[in-house]
Amino acid sequence: MPVDAQAAIDLLKELRALTADEHGAQRLAWSPTWLKARAWFQSKLSELPIEHHLDAAGNSWTTLEGESQKALILGSHLDSVPNGGWLDGCLGVIAAYAVLRRIAEEYSGKPPVTVRLVDWADEEGARFGRSLFGSSAFAGTHTIEQDRARTDASGATLEAALAACGVSIDAIGNAGVERKNAAAYLELHIEQGPVLESMGLPLAAVLGTKGVERHAITFLGQEAHSGSTPMAARHDALAAAAKLALEIRPIAMRHPHAVCTVGSVKTFPGIVTAVVGRCEATLDQRDLDADVLATMYREAQEKSRQFAEEEGCTVEWSRIWNIAPEPFHPELITQCEEAIVETAGRSHRMPSGPLHDAAEVSRAGIPTVMMFVQSLHGISHNKIEDTSEDHLRLAIAAFDKLASKTIEWMRAL
Ligand SMILES: [Zn+2]
């Protein structure tokens, strides 16, 4: 029985019409538009033989009970960034719905394993700066104490926004009960980057999410008059930072998937008539391999000290944030690749640079894999975000195949 990919695409368009304005999607988590999107989605599920509830962190769970309690979980997120696209997150939720519906029909409402659909709460963290909110509560990696005091641009607290949606911040860890019987997690998502388009491929099996090392780096030199200070006598903090900004390219390019970015540079005093005495830069380094990440971090530190010395400066590092790489399940990656090849002829394996809810699920020890579909022009988090309908059809069909393969894999466990 084939999955109805066209019906899923029609639903995505319906959701866009319901929750986007001329600037793009407005399904900001904990907002009235987000609640409207969720209510709309539930109305589509009403004629299926399912149980539905929200967990303690506001994640929305829809369960089709099977012969076995072992659960296959399919999901993504309906929330969007402000002025977001029509596919980020909701493609995965709607595709999961299409697959759930196909399975319910094929097995007359009683599949061999339990199938659950999850719409994670506040994946984007766009309003309070806390990404992966619901999935981290599910995984037990939530950080209530740091998150309690978070506020949005208007000064409203995360705690109050949650309460308005019936979620108590002190209880979100109870979402962990949903991990019971979870045997596998699958998520379809747009790539949000240019790799698949540049290769002319519709789909990829995702190897995992990259780890991140994010640091503030401050070079300290000596402020001096730009007219009176000879070139050889300068302690130019910007010169040292500039050398590092170029050096991170070879540091990253020694590894096939690694990326390093100096995203911000501030100079002090920052005036046209003074040599820079202090330069504050940021560095973001990512790779799927923890050893590669550690090597790149060490190399950047060593080079920063070398460049500081060459320029008569000193350098200080402080960590802004870091997270370990999260490799997905090898057998599910292989199945994902097979499903793609059977559907679209050719596949590709790639890590994800952005974080996803799937990383939290995998961190909780649940076998996990993601499938990526090509993003046109590599653009996301923007109203021009798009994927061709041909590729959306292939993606939903391949995701459905992956779900069938995973059910067979679970039955053999
Ligand atoms: Zn997303």
* Distance of CA 236 from the midpoint of ligand 1 (Å): 42
Residue 146 pLDDT > 90: no
Prior bond to 327 cis, omega within 30?
no
Distance 34 CA to ligand 1 centre (A): 14
- How far does residue 246's CA lie from ligand 1's centre (Å)? 31
- Tell me the CA–centroid distance for residue 123 and ligand 1, in Å: 7
pLDDT band at 151; cut points 50, 70, 90: very high
Please check the confidence at residue 47 and state whether its pLDDT lies above 90.
no
Q: What is the DSSP letter of 378?
A: G
| Cβ 171 vs Cβ 246: under 8 Å | no
User: How much is the pLDDT for 310?
Assistant: 98
In the reported structure, the alpha carbon of residue 82 is separated from the centroid of ligand 1 by a whole-number distance in angstroms of 13
**Rounded distance, CA 67 to CA 33, Å?**
37
Between residues 254 and 320, which one has the greater pLDDT? 254
Helix (H, G, I), strand (E, B) or coil at 267: strand
CA of 25 to the centre of ligand 1 (A): 13
Average pLDDT over residues 236-252: 98
Cα–ligand 1 centroid distance for 37 (angstroms): 15
Residue 413 has pLDDT above 90, yes or no: no
Helix axes 389-411 and 5-19, enclosed angle (nearest 10): 120
**146 alpha carbon – ligand 1 mean position (Å):** 23
Distance 410 CA to ligand 1 centre (A): 26
Is this prediction's pTM over 0.85? yes
Q: Summarize the confidence of residues 359-387 as an average pLDDT.
A: 95
Distance 31 CA to ligand 1 centre (A): 17
Distance 341 CA to ligand 1 centre (A): 24
Q: Is 336 exposed, middle or buried (0-12, 13-18, 19+ CB in 10 A)?
A: buried
> How much distance in Å is there from the Cα of 375 to the middle of ligand 1?
12
pLDDT of residue 28: 95
CA of 76 to the centre of ligand 1 (A): 7
Residue 170 has pLDDT above 90, yes or no: yes
Q: Quick one: what percent of the chain has pLDDT higher than 90? A: 93
Q: CA dihedral in degrees (129, 133, 139, 145; nearest 10)?
A: 70
CA of 277 to the centre of ligand 1 (A): 41
Q: How many angstroms is it from 189 CA to the middle of ligand 1?
A: 7
pLDDT score of 275 more than 90: yes
* d(CA 188, ligand 1 centre) in Å: 10
The confidence band for 406, taking pLDDT boundaries of 50, 70 and 90, is very high
Paired residues of 151 in beta bridges: 157
Question: What is the whole-number distance in angstroms between the Cα of residue 221 and the centre of ligand 1?
Answer: 42
pLDDT of 101: 97
Residue 191 Cα to ligand 1 midpoint, Å, equals: 9
| 356 Cα–ligand 1 center, Å | 6
Measured in angstroms, how far is the CA atom of residue 66 from the centroid of ligand 1? 28
Say yes or no to pLDDT of 1 above 90: no
CA of 88 to the centre of ligand 1 (A): 5
Flag whether pLDDT at 321 surpasses 90: no
User: Distance, CA 80 to ligand 1 centroid (Å)?
Assistant: 8
Q: Is the predicted pLDDT of residue 17 greater than 90, yes or no?
A: yes
pLDDT at 329: 98
pLDDT band at 400 (very low <50, low <70, confident <90, very high): very high
The tens digit of pLDDT for each residue in 93-116 reads: 999 999 999 999 999 999 999 999
Question: Which structure tokens are listed for 204?
Answer: 């990829």
Mean pLDDT of all residues belonging to the chain: 96
Q: What is the mean pLDDT of residues 83-97?
A: 97
pLDDT at 326: 97
Helix (H) or strand (E) run with residue 351 in it: strand 349-352
Supply the DSSP string of 46-105, one letter for each residue. Answer: TTSS-EEEE-TTS-EEEEE--SEEEEEEEEE-----TTB-SSTTHHHHHHHHHHHHHHHH
Distance 83 CA to ligand 1 centre (A): 14
Query: Exposure string (b/e) for 64-98, b if CB count within 10 Å is 16 or more?
Result: bbbebebbbbbbbbbbbbebbbbbbbbbbbbbbbb
How far apart are the CA of 190 and the centre of ligand 1, in A?
A: 8
